[in-house]
Chain A
Amino acid sequence: MASDPLISVDQLVAGYTRPVVGPVSFAVRPGEICGLGGANGTGKSTLLKAITGIARSFSGRIQRLPGLTLAHQWQRPELPPELALLGRELYALLGADPQSPPAFIKPLLEKPLYAMSGGQFQLLQTFACLCSPARLVLMDEPTNNLDGQALEALSTILHALAPDRAVLLVSHESTFLERHCTSILEMPR
Protein backbone atom coordinates (compact mmCIF):
# COMPACT_ATOMS: atom_id res chain seq x y z
CA MET A 1 0.00 0.00 0.00
CA ALA A 2 1.35 3.38 -0.90
CA SER A 3 2.22 5.61 2.07
CA ASP A 4 -0.02 8.53 2.98
CA PRO A 5 0.71 11.69 1.03
CA LEU A 6 2.62 14.41 2.82
CA ILE A 7 0.35 16.89 1.10
CA SER A 8 -2.77 16.61 -1.05
CA VAL A 9 -4.04 19.49 -3.13
CA ASP A 10 -7.61 19.09 -4.30
CA GLN A 11 -9.23 21.40 -6.87
CA LEU A 12 -7.30 24.35 -5.42
CA VAL A 13 -7.85 27.84 -6.81
CA ALA A 14 -5.30 30.28 -5.32
CA GLY A 15 -4.06 33.83 -5.77
CA TYR A 16 -3.83 37.13 -3.94
CA THR A 17 -6.54 39.73 -4.53
CA ARG A 18 -7.91 37.51 -7.33
CA PRO A 19 -7.33 33.90 -8.40
CA VAL A 20 -4.21 33.36 -10.52
CA VAL A 21 -3.93 29.57 -10.50
CA GLY A 22 -6.24 26.57 -10.55
CA PRO A 23 -8.22 24.54 -10.19
CA VAL A 24 -5.34 22.13 -9.68
CA SER A 25 -5.07 18.74 -7.95
CA PHE A 26 -2.06 16.61 -7.02
CA ALA A 27 -0.45 14.78 -4.11
CA VAL A 28 3.13 14.47 -2.92
CA ARG A 29 4.15 11.23 -1.20
CA PRO A 30 7.31 10.44 0.78
CA GLY A 31 10.27 9.72 -1.47
CA GLU A 32 8.82 11.63 -4.40
CA ILE A 33 10.23 14.57 -6.28
CA CYS A 34 7.23 16.22 -7.91
CA GLY A 35 7.84 18.76 -10.64
CA LEU A 36 5.62 21.71 -11.47
CA GLY A 37 6.33 22.90 -14.98
CA GLY A 38 4.81 25.45 -17.31
CA ALA A 39 5.32 28.84 -18.83
CA ASN A 40 5.95 32.02 -16.87
CA GLY A 41 2.85 33.49 -15.25
CA THR A 42 0.95 30.22 -14.86
CA GLY A 43 0.94 30.52 -11.06
CA LYS A 44 3.59 27.97 -10.09
CA SER A 45 5.14 30.17 -7.38
CA THR A 46 1.68 31.23 -6.17
CA LEU A 47 0.80 27.56 -5.73
CA LEU A 48 3.83 27.06 -3.47
CA LYS A 49 2.87 30.15 -1.49
CA ALA A 50 -0.69 28.86 -1.12
CA ILE A 51 0.77 25.69 0.39
CA THR A 52 2.84 27.70 2.88
CA GLY A 53 -0.19 29.84 3.68
CA ILE A 54 0.84 33.28 2.46
CA ALA A 55 -1.18 33.22 -0.77
CA ARG A 56 -4.96 33.04 -0.56
CA SER A 57 -6.90 29.86 -1.29
CA PHE A 58 -10.18 30.84 -2.99
CA SER A 59 -11.61 27.33 -3.28
CA GLY A 60 -10.57 23.71 -3.04
CA ARG A 61 -8.42 22.43 -0.22
CA ILE A 62 -4.89 21.60 0.86
CA GLN A 63 -4.58 18.64 3.19
CA ARG A 64 -1.33 18.16 5.09
CA LEU A 65 -0.08 15.15 6.98
CA PRO A 66 -0.38 16.06 10.70
CA GLY A 67 2.93 17.37 12.04
CA LEU A 68 4.37 17.91 8.55
CA THR A 69 7.36 20.26 8.49
CA LEU A 70 8.11 22.41 5.43
CA ALA A 71 10.96 24.47 4.07
CA HIS A 72 10.50 26.82 1.13
CA GLN A 73 13.34 28.00 -1.09
CA TRP A 74 12.21 31.26 -2.70
CA GLN A 75 12.86 32.25 -6.25
CA ARG A 76 15.30 35.19 -6.54
CA PRO A 77 15.97 35.59 -2.80
CA GLU A 78 16.97 39.13 -1.87
CA LEU A 79 20.66 39.37 -0.94
CA PRO A 80 20.87 41.99 1.85
CA PRO A 81 23.70 44.39 1.01
CA GLU A 82 24.94 45.10 4.54
CA LEU A 83 24.09 42.16 6.72
CA ALA A 84 27.32 40.58 7.92
CA LEU A 85 25.82 37.14 8.38
CA LEU A 86 28.19 34.28 7.63
CA GLY A 87 27.16 31.47 5.30
CA ARG A 88 27.12 28.97 8.17
CA GLU A 89 24.77 31.19 10.19
CA LEU A 90 22.29 31.30 7.32
CA TYR A 91 22.77 27.58 6.66
CA ALA A 92 21.88 26.74 10.28
CA LEU A 93 18.74 28.93 10.45
CA LEU A 94 16.36 26.14 9.48
CA GLY A 95 18.16 23.54 11.55
CA ALA A 96 20.55 22.19 8.91
CA ASP A 97 23.48 20.53 10.66
CA PRO A 98 26.43 22.94 10.28
CA GLN A 99 28.88 20.11 11.00
CA SER A 100 28.04 18.01 7.96
CA PRO A 101 27.15 20.20 4.98
CA PRO A 102 27.67 18.95 1.45
CA ALA A 103 31.37 19.33 0.59
CA PHE A 104 30.42 21.49 -2.34
CA ILE A 105 29.11 24.36 -0.26
CA LYS A 106 31.73 24.24 2.52
CA PRO A 107 33.68 27.16 0.99
CA LEU A 108 30.56 29.30 1.32
CA LEU A 109 30.02 28.66 5.02
CA GLU A 110 32.77 30.97 6.30
CA LYS A 111 32.01 33.61 3.70
CA PRO A 112 29.89 36.66 4.66
CA LEU A 113 26.73 37.13 2.63
CA TYR A 114 27.92 40.46 1.17
CA ALA A 115 30.86 38.67 -0.45
CA MET A 116 28.64 36.16 -2.22
CA SER A 117 27.31 36.40 -5.72
CA GLY A 118 23.58 36.02 -6.34
CA GLY A 119 24.12 32.46 -7.50
CA GLN A 120 26.16 31.49 -4.43
CA PHE A 121 23.54 33.01 -2.13
CA GLN A 122 20.78 31.11 -3.87
CA LEU A 123 22.80 27.90 -3.72
CA LEU A 124 23.29 28.34 0.02
CA GLN A 125 19.56 28.95 0.57
CA THR A 126 18.69 25.93 -1.53
CA PHE A 127 20.96 23.64 0.48
CA ALA A 128 19.83 25.17 3.79
CA CYS A 129 16.31 24.01 2.87
CA LEU A 130 17.34 20.63 1.48
CA CYS A 131 19.58 19.82 4.46
CA SER A 132 17.06 21.01 7.04
CA PRO A 133 14.93 18.45 8.91
CA ALA A 134 11.81 19.57 6.96
CA ARG A 135 10.03 16.57 5.45
CA LEU A 136 8.66 18.49 2.50
CA VAL A 137 10.89 20.95 0.67
CA LEU A 138 9.32 23.42 -1.74
CA MET A 139 11.80 24.66 -4.32
CA ASP A 140 11.08 27.56 -6.65
CA GLU A 141 13.28 27.65 -9.75
CA PRO A 142 16.32 26.27 -7.90
CA THR A 143 18.33 26.05 -11.12
CA ASN A 144 18.29 29.81 -11.77
CA ASN A 145 21.78 31.35 -11.57
CA LEU A 146 23.47 27.97 -11.00
CA ASP A 147 26.47 26.92 -13.06
CA GLY A 148 27.13 23.37 -14.23
CA GLN A 149 28.99 22.31 -11.10
CA ALA A 150 26.27 23.64 -8.81
CA LEU A 151 23.59 21.94 -10.91
CA GLU A 152 25.43 18.68 -10.56
CA ALA A 153 25.58 19.09 -6.77
CA LEU A 154 21.85 19.85 -6.69
CA SER A 155 21.15 16.72 -8.75
CA THR A 156 23.22 14.59 -6.40
CA ILE A 157 21.47 15.74 -3.27
CA LEU A 158 18.03 15.39 -4.85
CA HIS A 159 18.78 11.78 -5.68
CA ALA A 160 20.12 11.15 -2.17
CA LEU A 161 16.91 12.38 -0.54
CA ALA A 162 15.83 10.31 2.48
CA PRO A 163 12.82 8.06 1.68
CA ASP A 164 10.57 9.72 4.25
CA ARG A 165 11.05 13.15 2.67
CA ALA A 166 9.80 14.72 -0.55
CA VAL A 167 10.39 17.71 -2.80
CA LEU A 168 7.90 19.81 -4.74
CA LEU A 169 9.99 21.54 -7.36
CA VAL A 170 8.97 24.41 -9.64
CA SER A 171 11.03 24.90 -12.78
CA HIS A 172 10.53 26.14 -16.29
CA GLU A 173 13.40 23.90 -17.41
CA SER A 174 11.64 20.82 -18.70
CA THR A 175 14.92 18.90 -19.14
CA PHE A 176 15.78 19.32 -15.46
CA LEU A 177 12.27 18.24 -14.42
CA GLU A 178 12.32 15.18 -16.65
CA ARG A 179 15.73 14.15 -15.35
CA HIS A 180 14.95 14.45 -11.64
CA CYS A 181 11.24 14.24 -10.96
CA THR A 182 9.21 11.15 -10.23
CA SER A 183 6.12 12.94 -11.52
CA ILE A 184 5.52 16.20 -13.38
CA LEU A 185 2.45 18.40 -13.36
CA GLU A 186 2.34 20.81 -16.28
CA MET A 187 0.53 23.99 -15.30
CA PRO A 188 -1.90 25.18 -18.00
CA ARG A 189 -1.59 28.67 -19.43
Chain B
Amino acid sequence: MNDWLLFDPMFRVPFFTGLALAVALSLIGALLRLRAEWLAALGLSQVAAAGAMLAVWLSGPALLGASLAAVGAMALRSMLQRVGNSHHALMILIGWSATLIIGAHMDHGQVVSETFLRGQLYFTRHEHLIGAVGLLVVALGLYPWLTPRLLVTRFFPDYHAANGIPVWPHRLSYALLVIGATVLGTISVGAFPAFALLFVPPWIGFVLVDGWTRSVLAAVGIGVTAYVASFVLAMVLDQPFGPVLTALLVGLAALRFVSTVRRRGGEAQPDGPITETRSAPPSPAS
Protein backbone atom coordinates (compact mmCIF):
# COMPACT_ATOMS: atom_id res chain seq x y z
CA MET B 1 0.00 0.00 0.00
CA ASN B 2 2.90 2.33 0.68
CA ASP B 3 3.66 2.78 -3.00
CA TRP B 4 0.23 4.40 -3.43
CA LEU B 5 1.16 6.92 -0.73
CA LEU B 6 3.84 8.23 -3.06
CA PHE B 7 1.16 9.78 -5.23
CA ASP B 8 -0.97 11.05 -2.38
CA PRO B 9 -1.40 14.88 -2.67
CA MET B 10 -0.59 15.19 1.01
CA PHE B 11 3.03 14.20 0.27
CA ARG B 12 3.51 16.74 -2.53
CA VAL B 13 4.50 19.59 -0.24
CA PRO B 14 7.06 17.46 1.68
CA PHE B 15 8.44 16.06 -1.60
CA PHE B 16 8.96 19.42 -3.29
CA THR B 17 10.28 20.98 -0.06
CA GLY B 18 12.91 18.26 0.14
CA LEU B 19 13.67 18.50 -3.56
CA ALA B 20 14.33 22.25 -3.37
CA LEU B 21 16.51 21.67 -0.30
CA ALA B 22 18.42 18.84 -2.01
CA VAL B 23 19.45 21.20 -4.82
CA ALA B 24 20.13 24.20 -2.57
CA LEU B 25 22.06 22.30 0.10
CA SER B 26 24.24 20.44 -2.42
CA LEU B 27 25.05 23.76 -4.11
CA ILE B 28 25.80 25.59 -0.85
CA GLY B 29 27.77 22.56 0.34
CA ALA B 30 30.07 23.05 -2.67
CA LEU B 31 30.80 26.58 -1.46
CA LEU B 32 31.44 25.28 2.07
CA ARG B 33 33.90 22.73 0.67
CA LEU B 34 35.59 25.41 -1.43
CA ARG B 35 36.23 27.35 1.77
CA ALA B 36 37.10 24.18 3.73
CA GLU B 37 34.33 25.05 6.20
CA TRP B 38 32.04 22.05 5.79
CA LEU B 39 32.25 21.10 9.47
CA ALA B 40 30.76 24.50 10.33
CA ALA B 41 27.55 23.29 8.66
CA LEU B 42 27.15 20.49 11.21
CA GLY B 43 27.89 22.89 14.04
CA LEU B 44 25.28 25.34 12.79
CA SER B 45 22.73 22.55 12.20
CA GLN B 46 23.12 21.38 15.80
CA VAL B 47 22.87 24.92 17.17
CA ALA B 48 19.81 25.55 14.96
CA ALA B 49 18.20 22.38 16.36
CA ALA B 50 18.84 23.67 19.90
CA GLY B 51 17.33 27.04 18.98
CA ALA B 52 14.26 25.35 17.51
CA MET B 53 13.86 23.27 20.69
CA LEU B 54 14.11 26.35 22.87
CA ALA B 55 11.50 28.12 20.76
CA VAL B 56 9.10 25.18 20.98
CA TRP B 57 9.66 25.00 24.76
CA LEU B 58 8.76 28.70 24.99
CA SER B 59 5.74 28.11 22.72
CA GLY B 60 7.32 30.14 19.91
CA PRO B 61 7.89 29.34 16.24
CA ALA B 62 10.66 26.77 15.71
CA LEU B 63 11.89 28.52 12.56
CA LEU B 64 12.49 31.77 14.44
CA GLY B 65 14.31 30.01 17.26
CA ALA B 66 16.53 28.07 14.87
CA SER B 67 17.30 31.21 12.86
CA LEU B 68 18.20 33.29 15.92
CA ALA B 69 20.45 30.54 17.29
CA ALA B 70 22.26 30.08 13.96
CA VAL B 71 22.69 33.83 13.43
CA GLY B 72 24.02 34.15 16.99
CA ALA B 73 26.50 31.30 16.49
CA MET B 74 27.65 32.75 13.15
CA ALA B 75 28.06 36.20 14.72
CA LEU B 76 30.15 34.78 17.58
CA ARG B 77 32.21 32.83 15.06
CA SER B 78 32.91 35.96 13.05
CA MET B 79 34.31 37.67 16.17
CA LEU B 80 37.04 35.06 16.53
CA GLN B 81 40.39 35.98 15.02
CA ARG B 82 41.05 32.47 13.81
CA VAL B 83 38.31 29.94 13.26
CA GLY B 84 39.17 26.26 13.11
CA ASN B 85 37.54 22.89 13.31
CA SER B 86 37.89 22.96 17.10
CA HIS B 87 35.38 25.81 17.21
CA HIS B 88 33.03 23.95 14.87
CA ALA B 89 33.33 20.83 17.04
CA LEU B 90 32.43 22.94 20.06
CA MET B 91 29.33 24.20 18.25
CA ILE B 92 28.32 20.59 17.55
CA LEU B 93 28.70 19.60 21.19
CA ILE B 94 26.89 22.68 22.52
CA GLY B 95 24.02 22.25 20.05
CA TRP B 96 23.60 18.54 20.67
CA SER B 97 23.69 18.79 24.47
CA ALA B 98 21.40 21.84 24.56
CA THR B 99 18.85 20.14 22.29
CA LEU B 100 18.64 17.07 24.51
CA ILE B 101 18.74 18.95 27.83
CA ILE B 102 15.89 21.26 26.74
CA GLY B 103 14.03 18.19 25.50
CA ALA B 104 14.36 16.58 28.93
CA HIS B 105 12.32 19.46 30.41
CA MET B 106 9.44 19.34 27.91
CA ASP B 107 6.40 17.19 27.49
CA HIS B 108 7.23 14.77 24.67
CA GLY B 109 10.62 16.49 24.58
CA GLN B 110 12.41 13.36 23.51
CA VAL B 111 10.19 13.01 20.46
CA VAL B 112 10.52 16.69 19.55
CA SER B 113 14.30 16.72 19.96
CA GLU B 114 14.60 13.58 17.88
CA THR B 115 12.56 15.12 15.08
CA PHE B 116 14.94 18.10 14.87
CA LEU B 117 18.01 15.90 14.90
CA ARG B 118 16.65 13.07 12.76
CA GLY B 119 14.16 14.86 10.56
CA GLN B 120 10.44 15.40 10.04
CA LEU B 121 10.09 15.93 6.28
CA TYR B 122 6.63 14.32 6.07
CA PHE B 123 5.27 16.95 8.47
CA THR B 124 6.50 19.96 6.49
CA ARG B 125 3.90 22.52 5.46
CA HIS B 126 3.58 25.28 2.89
CA GLU B 127 5.77 27.62 5.00
CA HIS B 128 8.63 25.13 4.73
CA LEU B 129 8.10 24.83 0.98
CA ILE B 130 8.13 28.60 0.53
CA GLY B 131 11.30 28.83 2.62
CA ALA B 132 13.05 26.04 0.71
CA VAL B 133 12.11 27.42 -2.72
CA GLY B 134 13.11 30.91 -1.55
CA LEU B 135 16.51 29.59 -0.42
CA LEU B 136 16.98 27.84 -3.76
CA VAL B 137 16.09 30.95 -5.77
CA VAL B 138 18.44 33.12 -3.70
CA ALA B 139 21.25 30.54 -3.93
CA LEU B 140 20.90 30.22 -7.71
CA GLY B 141 20.65 33.99 -8.09
CA LEU B 142 23.75 34.67 -5.97
CA TYR B 143 25.84 31.82 -7.36
CA PRO B 144 27.24 33.53 -10.51
CA TRP B 145 28.23 36.62 -8.51
CA LEU B 146 29.36 34.93 -5.31
CA THR B 147 31.38 32.00 -6.61
CA PRO B 148 34.10 33.91 -8.49
CA ARG B 149 34.64 36.07 -5.41
CA LEU B 150 34.98 33.05 -3.13
CA LEU B 151 37.34 31.38 -5.61
CA VAL B 152 39.54 34.49 -5.81
CA THR B 153 39.63 34.67 -2.01
CA ARG B 154 40.65 30.99 -1.85
CA PHE B 155 43.60 31.33 -4.22
CA PHE B 156 44.54 35.01 -3.92
CA PRO B 157 43.55 35.82 -0.32
CA ASP B 158 44.37 39.55 -0.38
CA TYR B 159 43.20 40.39 -3.91
CA HIS B 160 40.06 42.21 -2.78
CA ALA B 161 41.83 44.12 -0.01
CA ALA B 162 44.65 45.08 -2.38
CA ASN B 163 42.21 46.49 -4.92
CA GLY B 164 39.89 48.26 -2.51
CA ILE B 165 37.02 45.89 -3.26
CA PRO B 166 34.79 45.54 -0.18
CA VAL B 167 34.58 41.96 1.04
CA TRP B 168 31.59 42.36 3.34
CA PRO B 169 28.94 41.91 0.60
CA HIS B 170 30.16 38.46 -0.41
CA ARG B 171 31.05 37.42 3.15
CA LEU B 172 27.58 38.41 4.35
CA SER B 173 25.86 36.73 1.38
CA TYR B 174 27.80 33.53 1.98
CA ALA B 175 27.05 33.58 5.72
CA LEU B 176 23.32 34.15 5.12
CA LEU B 177 23.21 31.33 2.58
CA VAL B 178 24.88 28.94 5.02
CA ILE B 179 22.56 30.03 7.84
CA GLY B 180 19.52 29.66 5.59
CA ALA B 181 20.64 26.22 4.45
CA THR B 182 21.32 24.89 7.93
CA VAL B 183 18.18 26.38 9.50
CA LEU B 184 15.72 25.33 6.77
CA GLY B 185 17.49 21.99 6.42
CA THR B 186 17.32 21.30 10.16
CA ILE B 187 13.69 22.35 10.48
CA SER B 188 12.61 20.38 7.41
CA VAL B 189 14.77 17.27 7.10
CA GLY B 190 16.64 17.28 10.43
CA ALA B 191 20.13 18.32 11.53
CA PHE B 192 22.04 15.22 10.45
CA PRO B 193 20.29 14.63 7.10
CA ALA B 194 20.75 18.34 6.31
CA PHE B 195 24.44 18.05 7.11
CA ALA B 196 24.64 14.92 4.97
CA LEU B 197 23.20 16.89 2.03
CA LEU B 198 25.67 19.72 2.59
CA PHE B 199 28.70 17.49 3.06
CA VAL B 200 28.47 14.29 1.02
CA PRO B 201 27.42 15.40 -2.51
CA PRO B 202 30.32 17.88 -2.94
CA TRP B 203 32.69 15.44 -1.24
CA ILE B 204 31.92 12.93 -3.98
CA GLY B 205 31.37 15.40 -6.82
CA PHE B 206 34.69 17.18 -6.33
CA VAL B 207 36.66 14.00 -6.98
CA LEU B 208 34.33 12.48 -9.56
CA VAL B 209 34.79 14.97 -12.41
CA ASP B 210 37.26 17.72 -13.32
CA GLY B 211 36.42 21.40 -13.58
CA TRP B 212 34.60 23.61 -11.07
CA THR B 213 31.22 23.88 -12.83
CA ARG B 214 31.11 20.18 -13.69
CA SER B 215 32.01 19.27 -10.08
CA VAL B 216 29.22 21.44 -8.71
CA LEU B 217 26.74 19.98 -11.21
CA ALA B 218 27.86 16.49 -10.22
CA ALA B 219 27.34 17.37 -6.55
CA VAL B 220 23.82 18.66 -7.21
CA GLY B 221 23.05 15.57 -9.31
CA ILE B 222 24.20 13.28 -6.50
CA GLY B 223 22.21 15.22 -3.91
CA VAL B 224 18.99 15.14 -5.96
CA THR B 225 19.38 11.47 -6.93
CA ALA B 226 19.98 10.44 -3.32
CA TYR B 227 17.04 12.54 -2.14
CA VAL B 228 14.50 11.18 -4.65
CA ALA B 229 15.68 7.60 -4.12
CA SER B 230 15.50 7.88 -0.34
CA PHE B 231 12.06 9.54 -0.45
CA VAL B 232 10.73 6.60 -2.46
CA LEU B 233 12.61 3.94 -0.49
CA ALA B 234 11.60 5.33 2.90
CA MET B 235 7.97 5.32 1.90
CA VAL B 236 7.89 2.00 0.11
CA LEU B 237 9.86 0.23 2.84
CA ASP B 238 8.18 2.21 5.63
CA GLN B 239 11.48 3.49 7.01
CA PRO B 240 12.34 6.86 8.59
CA PHE B 241 13.27 9.29 5.81
CA GLY B 242 16.22 11.11 7.43
CA PRO B 243 18.30 8.04 8.28
CA VAL B 244 17.53 6.47 4.88
CA LEU B 245 18.73 9.64 3.09
CA THR B 246 21.88 9.77 5.21
CA ALA B 247 22.62 6.06 4.70
CA LEU B 248 22.07 6.34 0.95
CA LEU B 249 24.41 9.32 0.69
CA VAL B 250 27.04 7.49 2.71
CA GLY B 251 26.61 4.51 0.38
CA LEU B 252 27.10 6.75 -2.65
CA ALA B 253 30.47 7.74 -1.21
CA ALA B 254 31.70 4.50 -2.77
CA LEU B 255 31.81 6.52 -5.98
CA ARG B 256 34.92 8.19 -4.57
CA PHE B 257 36.80 4.94 -5.05
CA VAL B 258 35.89 5.03 -8.74
CA SER B 259 37.42 8.44 -9.00
CA THR B 260 40.49 7.34 -7.05
CA VAL B 261 41.17 4.73 -9.72
CA ARG B 262 40.53 7.33 -12.45
CA ARG B 263 42.83 9.83 -10.83
CA ARG B 264 45.74 7.44 -10.47
CA GLY B 265 46.58 8.14 -14.09
CA GLY B 266 46.74 11.87 -13.48
CA GLU B 267 48.37 12.08 -10.08
CA ALA B 268 50.79 14.90 -9.47
CA GLN B 269 54.25 14.11 -10.73
CA PRO B 270 57.39 15.28 -8.98
CA ASP B 271 58.44 18.73 -10.10
CA GLY B 272 60.06 18.56 -13.47
CA PRO B 273 60.01 20.20 -16.86
CA ILE B 274 56.65 20.67 -18.53
CA THR B 275 57.07 18.91 -21.81
CA GLU B 276 55.79 20.96 -24.68
CA THR B 277 57.65 22.38 -27.63
CA ARG B 278 57.69 26.12 -27.28
CA SER B 279 56.95 27.37 -30.76
CA ALA B 280 56.25 30.96 -29.79
CA PRO B 281 57.61 33.27 -27.11
CA PRO B 282 55.31 33.93 -24.17
CA SER B 283 52.78 36.67 -24.77
CA PRO B 284 53.60 39.92 -23.06
CA ALA B 285 51.33 40.76 -20.20
CA SER B 286 49.31 43.82 -20.97
Residues of A within 8 A of B (CB): 49, 51-54, 69-72, 74, 77, 80, 82-86, 89-90, 93-94, 100-108, 111-112, 114-120, 123, 125, 129-134, 137-138, 145, 147-150, 153, 156-157, 160-162, 165
The residue from B154, B162, B263, B271 contacting A70, defined by CB atoms under 8 A apart: B162
- B283 close to A93 (CB less than 8 A): no
From A74, A85, A107, A145, residue with most partner B Cβ within 10 Å: A85
Pairwise interchain contact B212-A84, C-beta atoms closer than 8 A: yes
Cβ of B37 to closest chain A Cβ, rounded Å = 13
Most buried by A among B274, B281, B283: B274
CB contacts (< 8 Å) of B274 on chain A: these are 104-105, 107-108, 120, 123, 149-150
Contacts A83-B154, A103-B278, A107-B274 known; 12 new A-B pairs at CB < 8 A = A54-B158, A70-B162, A72-B162, A80-B154, A82-B33, A83-B206, A83-B212, A117-B271, A119-B271, A133-B286, A145-B271, A150-B273
Chain B nearest CB from A122 CB (Å) reads: 9
Q: A93, B151: Cβ atoms under 8 Å?
A: yes
A53 → chain B closest CB, angstroms: 4
User: Closest CB of chain A to B217's CB: distance in Å?
Assistant: 11
> Chain B: interface secondary structure?
loop
Contact B161 A147 (CB under 8 A): no
Cross-chain contact B211 with A160 (CB below 8 angstroms): no
B210 touches A86 (CB 8 A): yes
Task: Indicate whether B267 reaches chain A with its CB closer than 8 angstroms.
Answer: yes
Check B283 against A130 for contact (C-beta < 8 Å).
no
> How far, in Å, is A59 (CB) from chain B's closest CB?
20
Contact in complex: A160, B281 (CB < 8 Å): yes
Cα A112 to Cα B209 in complex, Å, equals 10
Q: Which residues of A contact B268 (CB under 8 A)?
A: 114-117, 120
**1/0 per position for B235-277, CB-CB distance to A under 8 A?**
0000000000000000000000000000100111111111110
Please tell me if the beta carbons of A93 and B278 are within 8 angstroms of each other in the complex.
Answer: no
Q: How far is the CA of A50 from the CA of B66 in the complex (A)?
A: 40
A112 to B262, CA, bound (A): 13
Asked if A117 contacts B270 (CB within 8 A), the reply is yes
Q: A54-B161, A70-B163, A118-B271 are in contact. Are A93 and B211 (CB under 8 A)?
A: no
Q: Which of B199-225 contact A (CB under 8 A)?
A: 203, 206-207, 209-212, 214-215
Known A84-B209, A149-B273; contact A102-B158, beta-carbon cutoff 8 A = no
Please, which residues of chain A bring their CB within 8 A of the CB of B155?
A: 77, 90, 93, 125
Q: Are A120 and B271 in contact (CB under 8 A)?
A: yes
The distance from the CB of A2 to the nearest CB of chain B, in whole angstroms, is: 21
Quick check: A72 and B158 within 8 Å, CB to CB?
Answer: yes
Contact A72 B156 (CB under 8 A): yes
B-chain residues with CB within 8 Å of residue A131 when the two chains form the complex: 283, 285
Identify the 7 closest CB pairs spanning chains A and B, nearest first.
A102-B282, A52-B162, A160-B284, A119-B271, A52-B158, A115-B266, A53-B161
Can you report 11 residue pairs joining A to B where beta carbons are below 8 Å apart? A53-B158, A69-B163, A80-B154, A104-B278, A107-B274, A115-B263, A117-B269, A117-B271, A120-B274, A138-B162, A150-B273
